[in-house]
Every structure is written in C-alpha cells, then in structure tokens.
Structure 1
Amino acid sequence: MKTLILPLVLLAMISCTDKKSADKQRLCTELYTDDHPFMPMDIKAAVVKKSLWPHSVNFPLRITVKFLNGTDFQKNKVREYVKLWTQASADGVEYKFHEKKKINFRFIPYDVTTSGNNADIRISFGNGGSSSYIGIDCKTIPQDQPTMFFGWINESEPEESIKQVVLHEFGHALGFIHEHQNPTANIPWNKPEVYDYYRRTQNPPWSKEKVDRNVFERYSTSSTNYTAYDSLSIMHYAIPSFLTNGGYSTPWNSDLSPTDISFVKQIYPYHPCYVNESCCYDKNGKKILCN
C-alpha cells in the first residue's frame, strides 16, 4: 500500500517590489502522494513524468471534475478560466467528425446525500492558501476528499488574481511544477536576503534547510520533462528584485505563456485519425482497416 507523506509547501512568491508589501503573501501547495520527486542539482516549462495523465494520441483526454462545496460565483469562475487550458491544447487543425481539443474537463454533479459521482479532480473552497495534487496523484485520494483547494476566489478578489490561481492550480493538476524549480532555472538568488525573508514572513519561521528545499533546489532532469526556463509561465510566481542579485525580477503572470501553450501540446499530443480519413482507429485506439 502506498504511504502518504506530508505535503510539501511551496511559497507563492508575490509580485510586489518592496519589502513591506512583500510580506503580504499567498501560499500555493504542491501535494504529493509519493516521495518528493526532485533533488538539488544544476540542470521553460516542466512537468513530473510519473504524474502525467495516460492517454492515446488518437483520442481526446477527458478529465472529470466535481465541486465538493462553493458558491455559484466560485464554481463559475473555475469553469470559465479552466477553458483556457482546453483551448491551449487544440492542435490548430480543423476536423470534420470530432472535437479537435486534446484536454477536456467535464464537470459532473455532486450529490451531498451520497458519495456523489466519482471524479478525477475534486475541488473545495475555503479560507487559506490554494493547492493541488500533481497530475494523476489525485486518483489515489479518496473520493470524499478534495484534490484541489482554492483559498482566494470571491467577489472581492481582483479578476486577474482569480484567473491566475485557477490556471495555476489546474496546471499542477496536469502535471506542471513550479517554474522557479525548473531544472534549467538559474535565478541569481540573494541567499542571505531570501533566508531572512522567509524567516521573517513565515509562521513558524522557515529554517535554512526548508528554504533550500522549497526555493533553491531544482527538480532533476531524470524526473521531469521540461523546456528552457520560462519566467512568463503561469507556473512562475513573481520574484521581487530585493531577493536576487543584479536586480533580477519576474512579473506576476495571469495568462498562459506561449511556452505553456506549446508545451501542453507537446506533453499531451493529439493526432486524431478517424473513419473516412487517411487512417482509422477503434474506440481503444487500435489501428484498424478503414471501411
């Protein structure tokens, strides 16, 4: 039986540029059901190989989603912005007989009187940080427990912030990791400043070892599929310049970057081929003679 480990907390670094406003931060938690997949080593977008959704290149990938709680406003915002991942997965080719988008999220109802219909992703809303299991790790979690949590989707929140957190958490659900820990990232951290920052802003204060694990260490090349480091990725949090050397900083991203869009097509390719086209497949993706 697989043993659950305590979830690893990764700080959602804020977009401000001064220390006072930098203390107002939000946490995004990557949740794992196995040993943490990266180790410190020098190696744009990146995903955990073992957590990618299995799929046939000949058929769309359908992922079911249900809400365990939440207001109509919260649910509608999730439905609205997750469509951007679906649109990003389209291969850009028009087909006559079938949908052209690779990734499809199907929202199913939740019956509070029973366990409800089974779903791959279960969403809960509340106060606190936001989190998601990485890729198919969500399938190992009991159906009555959430696999994704949103802590700041409400009517008083800026629209760009809501869009950012929905896209970001569903990026994790597709297997994406935090971009500042991409194997190819080479951020010029001001380590003494970073250690002090997390000591001051976390409760309880983060130790040097915890900062090393959550900020400086990068995923290994063997455990991930990745591109060149992408500071514009939706999986990258803003880095204020006072935490780096030489004034390096990154913006707060609320849209999928061009690399996010091209990379999701790369890790979830779609080459549909149906009856009356040049080649044919059955419902299980096995190649057959065309009629």
Structure 2
Amino acid sequence: MKILIFTLALFAIISCTDKKSEDQSRLCTELYSDDLQWSPIQPKGAVVKKSLWPHSVHFPLRITVKFLNGTEFQKNKVREYAKLWTQASASGVEYKFHEKNKINFRFIPYDVTTSGNVADIRILFREGGSSSYIGIDCKSIPQDKPTMFFGWINENESEESIKQVVLHEFGHALGFIHEHQHPGANIPWNKEKVYEYYKNTQSPPWSKEMVDNNIFYRYSVNTTNYSNYDPKSIMHYSIPSFLTLDGYSTPWNSDLSPVDKSFIKQIYPYHPCFVNETCCYDKNGKPILCH
C-alpha cells in the first residue's frame, strides 16, 4: 500500500448533511475557501499530505480535544468510538518507555471563564449536518470556534449510526477524505439518475456542478499516490444500487476496515524503541540505552 499524497492550498472542511428519510443519505460535501476554485484536474487523494499531523516515528502523537457543549451521553459516545482510531494505531509491540498507541486523543475540560484549555479539535453538537476540518487545518480556526460538528448523536439514534459518524469525522480530523472519489473506484454511475436524486433529496438542491464535484470527479492519478480502492472503508459513503448502471452498491460502513487499520499505521508509523538500536528516548525526550 502506498501513502496517498495530495497538495492543496488553503483549508477544506468536510460537511455531512443529515437526511431522515430512508431514501435520503447522510452525505458529505467538500467546501473550500472562496479564493480556491475546485476543478477536476486539481490533485486530490484519500489522505491530504499537507494536513497530516506533524509527528516523529519515535514519539506518540497527542491530539487534544474539547467539547464546546453536549450531554454526557453525547460526549461519552464520542470518547468511546474515537478510541477505535487510537487502538488501530497501535503497533502491536509493547515499549518499555512509551505508550503503546501512536495516536492518542486527550479530552480536556472546556472552561468559558478562561482563555486556557487550548485544544486542537473543538466539538459542537447541533441539529443538522456533521462535519470536520481535515487534519491540522483545525489549527487555523480560532479557539472559540468549533472544528468538528455532530448533528445526529442522541439517544434516538442507533448505535451503529453513532459509531459510523464518530469514526468518519475523526478520520477526517486525522487527514482522510472521501473514498468514493478514489482514482481506482471506477463506479458505474447512472449519471442522469444521480443528478435527479441529489436534486430531489438535498436542501438546497444540488446543481449538476455540485454533483460533478462531490460525486463523479475522481482523484488525479497523475499527481496522487494512493492505496487500493476500499469500498469497506469508514470513509466510503453508501451507494444505492439504483444510482448505478449495473446495480453496484455499497452499504453504510460503521467499522474501520482492515485497510483503514493498516493505512493509519503507515501514515503515522510508530516504533520508538527496538533492542540494539539508538532510537530510544524517555518520556522527556532524553536519549537512553535500549534494552
């Protein structure tokens, strides 16, 4: 599997639209700043290289998270399922001086009375869509503004739906973008039906240009390295069979796929200490003898 490389100027946010009807999907659209116009020749990839979190192979990656609002039920569900990315990042090797997981989300309290408690990811629960900035793009957002939104985490939602949206949005926060526009996807879309579907199910209705940008255009193979297309990825959204020419479809994925789990290890590699190597450090970053 090759690391996906993507060069993109400025910042992007992935937004998911909440649809309640059985025939209406919860969708994600890619939004960019006003001075960046999307085009089919603009390089894209399943992982935004410039938005990946800076990291060293020798140290864990710690990302701070705080909630700007929400019930204990909502907060607990986010903590519970975000942890699955943490577990997927584990190398499988126990290190004497280091945490076993490469990626660690540290949830910190929100205090409206101080300017402290600075967090990388700020979560807001609200009615409507779910969304997240991609990777470190969240660092460009003022501290009093959210960088991740959840629109359908509540006691009335199924556990599968909650798990799916938390994993998906935290995937974006780690640098992932959508899988259905993978250069190797080659989905046999029935374009006229797709145009009509998104015109009728989205509010406001999607134009043909929006459908082209968010559904049909695939990542550039000339400017992007990429892994195998993975219809089971948590970053892949459902495709109903009536939107394709040959009945091809994909379900809602609510778990990290084997490719998701192996790919996160490749993107954020972690091996701080091996016997007979000089790469060992204590918790303060001081070189130590490996044993």
TM-score norm. by structure 2 comes to 0.86
Q: How does 1:1-291 map to 2 (within 5 A)?
A: 21-22=22-23, 24-30=24-30, 32=32, 39-40=39-40, 46-221=46-221, 224-273=224-273, 278-282=277-281, 290=289
Deviation, structure 1 residue 30: 4.5
**Residue 124 of structure 2 aligns to which amino acid in structure 1?**
S
Measured in 2, the distance between the counterparts of 1:32 and 1:224 equals 19
**Residue 21 of structure 1 aligns to which amino acid in structure 2?**
E
Q: Given that residues 132 and 149 in structure 1 are in contact (C-alpha distance below 8 angstroms), is that contact kept between their aligned partners in structure 2?
A: yes
Counterparts in 2 of 1:6 and 1:238: CA distance versus 1, 3 Å: closer
Q: What's the counterpart of residue 17 of structure 1?
A: none
Q: In the TM superposition, what whole-angstrom CA distance separates every residue of 1:147-176 from its partner, at most 9, and x where no partner exists?
A: 000000001110000000000000000000
Measured in 1, the distance between the counterparts of 2:214 and 2:279 equals 47
Q: Given that residues 59 and 285 in structure 1 are in contact (C-alpha distance below 8 angstroms), is that contact kept between their aligned partners in structure 2?
A: no
Measured in 2, the distance between the counterparts of 1:82 and 1:37 equals 32
Q: Given that residues 64 and 106 in structure 1 are in contact (C-alpha distance below 8 angstroms), is that contact kept between their aligned partners in structure 2?
A: yes
Aligned residues: 281
Deviation, structure 1 residue 26: 2.2
Deviation, structure 1 residue 119: 0.4
Measured in 2, the distance between the counterparts of 1:35 and 1:258 equals 37
Task: State the SS of the aligned residue for 1:209.
Answer: helix
Deviation, structure 1 residue 219: 2.4
Q: Given that residues 98 and 282 in structure 2 are in contact (C-alpha distance below 8 angstroms), is that contact kept between their aligned partners in structure 1?
A: no
Counterparts in 2 of 1:33 and 1:114: CA distance versus 1, 3 Å: farther
Measured in 2, the distance between the counterparts of 1:283 and 1:98 equals 8
Measured in 2, the distance between the counterparts of 1:166 and 1:89 equals 16
TM-score norm. by structure 1 comes to 0.86
Percent sequence identity is 72
Deviation, structure 1 residue 88: 0.2
Where in structure 2 are there 5+ consecutive unaligned residues?
1-8
Q: In the TM superposition, what whole-angstrom CA distance separates every residue of 1:103-140 from its partner, at most 9, and x where no partner exists?
A: 00000111022334110000000100100000000000
Where in structure 1 are there 5+ consecutive unaligned residues?
15-19
Measured in 2, the distance between the counterparts of 1:36 and 1:178 equals 19
Measured in 1, the distance between the counterparts of 2:67 and 2:74 equals 10
Q: Given that residues 179 and 229 in structure 1 are in contact (C-alpha distance below 8 angstroms), is that contact kept between their aligned partners in structure 2?
A: yes
